[in-house]
């Protein structure tokens, strides 16, 4: 699997079983594509999500559970200041990987290579 100079930024609200299952499936599919993971989870399933992230992210994992629960924008801006990677992939609770892993990695590689925003 090709490593990209891309960080994943997760600042989401997981409050029901459906979103939790979607999060588990998707994050488990894409985690290996990132060299940094910056994560803030809110909602009833935050502890389960954090436990999963601690289990699957073997690279640099940064948790931001101490940040404000109500101000998504300020929390996200605080997280961004801590990211060292060239690119940031914003992960949202309704994201689902519909392509295969190598296609996803290719898109991330192209963003890095072409210096895209």
Would strands 87-91 and 36-42 be described as parallel, antiparallel, or unpaired?
Answer: unpaired
- Nearest-5° Cα angle at 5, 41 to 43: 5
Examine the pLDDT at 1 and tell me if it is beyond 50: no
- What pLDDT, on the 0 to 100 scale, is given for residue 96? 80
pLDDT digit string, tens, across residues 24-54: 999 988 888 898 999 999 999 999 999 999 9
- Residues 5-17 pLDDT 10s: 899 999 999 999 9
Closest by alpha carbon to 10, among 21, 31, 2?
31
> Which residue is associated with the tokens 């519909």?
98
> What predicted TM-score, i.e. pTM, was given to this entire model?
0.88
Q: Which residues sit opposite 40 in a β-bridge?
A: 11
């Amino acid at each position: 699997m090709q490593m990209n100079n891309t960080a994943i930024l997760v600042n989401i609200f997981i409050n029901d079983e459906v979103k939790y299952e979607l999060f588990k499936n998707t994050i488990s599919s894409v985690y290996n594509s990132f060299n940094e993971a910056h994560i803030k989870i809110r909602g009833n399933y935050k502890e389960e999500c954090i436990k999963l992230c601690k289990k699957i992210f073997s690279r640099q994992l940064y948790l931001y559970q101490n940040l404000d629960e109500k101000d998504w924008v300020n929390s996200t801006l605080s997280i961004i200041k801590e990211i060292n990677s060239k690119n940031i992939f914003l992960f949202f609770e309704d994201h689902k990987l519909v392509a295969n892993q190598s296609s996803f990695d290719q898109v991330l590689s192209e963003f890095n290579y072409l210096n895209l925003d």
